[in-house]
Amino acid sequence: MRLALREVGTAFSRAPGLGVLSVFTVAFSLFAVGLFGLVAYNTRLALERLEERVEIRAYVTEGTETDAVAAAVGDVRAFPEVASVTYVSPEDALKKARVEMTEFKDVFEPEFLPASMEVRLKPGMRDPETVRVVAKRLNGYPFVDDVRYGEEWVQKFYAVRRAATAAGIVLGIAFAFAAMIIIGSTIRTSVLARAREIGIMRLVGATDSFIRAPFLIDGVLKGLIGGSIAVALMWITRSVLTATVFAFQFFPVPILVLCVLIGGVIGLLGSAVSVGRQLKRV
Amino acid sequence: MSSNQTIVKFTSVTKSWPRGSGGLQKVSFAAAKGEFVFLTGPSGAGKSTILKLCYMDELPNSGEVRVSGLSSINAKRTEISKLRRKLGIVFQDFRLLEDRTAWANVAFALEVTGTHSKAIPARVQKVLERVGLGPKMQSMPTELSGGEQQRVAIARALVNDPFVLLADEPTGNLDDRASRAVFQLLKDINTSGTAVMMATHDLDLVRTSGFRSLELNKGALVYDSAETPLPERER
């Protein structure tokens, strides 16, 4: 292990340019993937915020007993899909309408608006099908006059979300693949630069695992350093964008750690493949 | 020949490459412990191929190469690595690491084969002194003459106490004087008990040395002095 680390140091001191090039190749490749990931992450957060607005409103027939509605609210709250149920009395409805719509500012009779149950669903249960099922169940109450949930809006929203997810996955894989190819070829260059050394090691009887060790450590270190630089570059970019365009959310810490680790794994795999190829030749 | 114990045995070995020249055709011979064997013949005759087969850098298409008990038929990569630790290999082009001193080049062979670090300095110094490079052990390869570089390569080959030294045209890049000195060193190494297999074009060296020679032509073993002594053949 000590020798392997020394070999890593020796290789770097002999060709520092190549070492730095490898690190920055990893860094910029992961930075490109990370930037895309940042956009995808913020898009997802925005869509999640929009998704929270999915709600079902069940209008109560005028003159229904308050007790009956209260019992129904309790029932609905127990539905597995339901996160919350709020009873909106005609008075509350009018107050809200006055705030949201100016044409209601001169209306003083609450009876003008019907009472309703405002139902919000749990995350992951806001898809068109579940919304339709819950709406149908609400419609089954005899005192429910009408159920509205913006069916068309929910469907469009989910179509957009599906498209965004699909595009995110495809582009993400493409970016990651490109990054791996670029990183792999850079690491291969540094392995080729030491082909003579590998050949001599084989001649004097070093085992494959012994020969691999310094290259794998080298690859992991370059990957981890590159990954860390990529995280730093992403943070700088996000700060600039937040200051100049609009507020971007940065990745949470576990994702940042994952990004650095992915750098390490790419470095490890790139080195393993390159040195494996080289070992087959000698 | 100091002993009849066979250390290298080729049995009907054929080696060819899809698009390459050289190769071997049904070559059989055996070399004993402590023996000095020359491999001679024109370029492309198969001399280097025999040496590569000995250190199992190449494996035969058919037949069997057996070195120190390890058979080419079922040798695993780790076994080949361990075999090479008991072989010394020297090339015409020295194959030294240009960015390390003579000392570091020799130590490298011990380090990468897992020798304890405390044992390395004494062994490196001893072997460099043995090849006559004691005063130049801290020199870089580029500061050494061709003959001296080949001595570093020989020291690297000897540092693991091999039972056989495989030398592929070790004097091919050297002038007469350096060639004689390197050959004398190989003879001394052989005298101390290490077998030597040396590929060479230098027929004078072969004739005057009196050692066994195997002559190859177009991949076939055409003459073995152990079976037909050279003077008789020439008559």
Q: Please write the tens of the pLDDT for every residue from B210-231.
A: 999 999 999 999 999 988 765 5
Confidence band of B1 (pLDDT split at 50, 70, 90): very low
Which residue of A14, A210, A282 is in closest CB contact with B112?
A210
Taking the CA of residue B111 and the nearest CA in chain A, the distance in Å comes to: 8
- SS3 assignment, position A76: helix
Using the CB atoms, write b or e for A200-227: b if 16+ within 10 Å.
bbbbbbbbbebbbbbbbbbbbbbbbbbb
pLDDT of A186-202, one tens digit each? 777 877 888 888 889 88
Average pLDDT, chain B: 91
Q: B84: distance to nearest CA of chain A, Å? A: 5
Q: Provide the 10 A C-beta neighbour count for residue B199.
A: 26
- With a cut of 70, say whether residue B4 has pLDDT above it: no
pLDDT of B99 reads 87
Strand B212-217 to B220-224 pairing: antiparallel
Which residue from B61, B99, B66 is spatially nearest to B83, judged by alpha carbons?
A: B66
To the nearest whole Å, the CA of A170 is away from the closest chain B CA by: 41
Least confidently predicted of A182-196, B92-106, B171-185, B204-218:
A182-196
Q: What is residue B222's DSSP assignment?
A: E
Report CB contact under 8 Å: B84, A203. yes
The ipTM estimated for the assembled molecules is 0.84
Give the model's pLDDT for residue A100: 75
What is the model's pLDDT at position B163? Answer: 94
C-alpha span between A143 and A49 (Å, rounded): 32
What is the pLDDT, as a whole number, of residue A277?
Answer: 82
Q: What pLDDT does residue B3 have?
A: 45
B119 CB within 8 Å of a chain A CB: no
What is the spatial distance between Cα A105 and Cα A99, in angstroms, rounded to a whole number?
8
pLDDT of residue B75: 94
B40-56: pLDDT as tens digits: 999 989 999 999 999 99
For residue B143, give every residue at least 6 positions away whose Cβ sits within 8 Å of its Cβ, in sequence order, or none.
Answer: B136
Closest residue to B97, CB basis, from A197, A202, A210: A197
Rama region for A130: left / alpha / beta (φ>0; ψ in -120 to 50; rest): alpha
Q: Does B55 touch chain A (CB under 8 A)?
A: yes
Residues of B in contact with A206 (CB under 8 A): 81, 112-113
Helices (H), A53-127: 66-77, 90-100
Residues of B in contact with A199 (CB under 8 A): 95
Q: Check whether B235 has a pLDDT greater than 70.
A: no
pLDDT, mean of residues B178-187: 92
A207 Cβ neighbours under 8 A, 6+ residues apart: B77, B78, B81, B82
| Structure tokens that stand for A184 in this block | 């792999």
Global pTM?
0.70
- Distance to chain A for B178, nearest Cα, Å: 24
Give the span between the Cα atoms of A265 and A269, in whole angstroms.
6
Task: Report the gap between the CA of A36 and the closest CA in chain B (Å).
Answer: 43
Tell me the shortest Cα–Cα distance from A204 to chain B, in angstroms: 6
In the block, tokens 């490459």 appear at: B17
Regions in chain A scoring below 50 on pLDDT: none
- pLDDT value, residue B2: 40
Q: For B81, name the nearest residue in chain A, comparing CA atoms only.
A: A205
pLDDT confidence of residue B217: 93
**8 Å CB contact between A180 and A228:** no
CB-based contact (8 Å) between B109 and chain A?
A: yes
Q: In chain B, what residues touch A200 (CB-CB under 8 Å)?
A: 95, 97, 108
Chain A interface, Cβ < 8 Å to B: 3, 14, 196-197, 199-208, 210-211, 282
Percent of chain B with pLDDT over 90: 79
Question: For B113, which of A196, A197, A204 is closest by C-beta distance?
Answer: A204
Alpha-carbon gap, residue B102 to B96, rounded angstroms: 9
Q: What per-residue confidence (pLDDT) applies to A281?
A: 64
Chain A residues closer than 8 Å to B119 by CB: none
Percent of chain B whose predicted confidence (pLDDT) is above 70: 94
Portion 66-105 of B in contact with A at CB < 8 A: 77-78, 81-87, 89, 95, 97, 99
Nearest CA in chain B to A212: B112
Helices (H) and strands (E) in chain B, counts: 8, 10
> Higher pLDDT residue, B153 or A99?
B153
Picking from A14, A200, A206, the nearest residue to B95 by CB comes out as A200
* Closest Cβ opposite residue A204 in set B78, B99, B112: B112
Q: Residues B106-141, buried b or exposed e (16+ Cβ, 10 A)?
A: bbbbbbbbebeeeebeebbeebbebbebeebbebbb
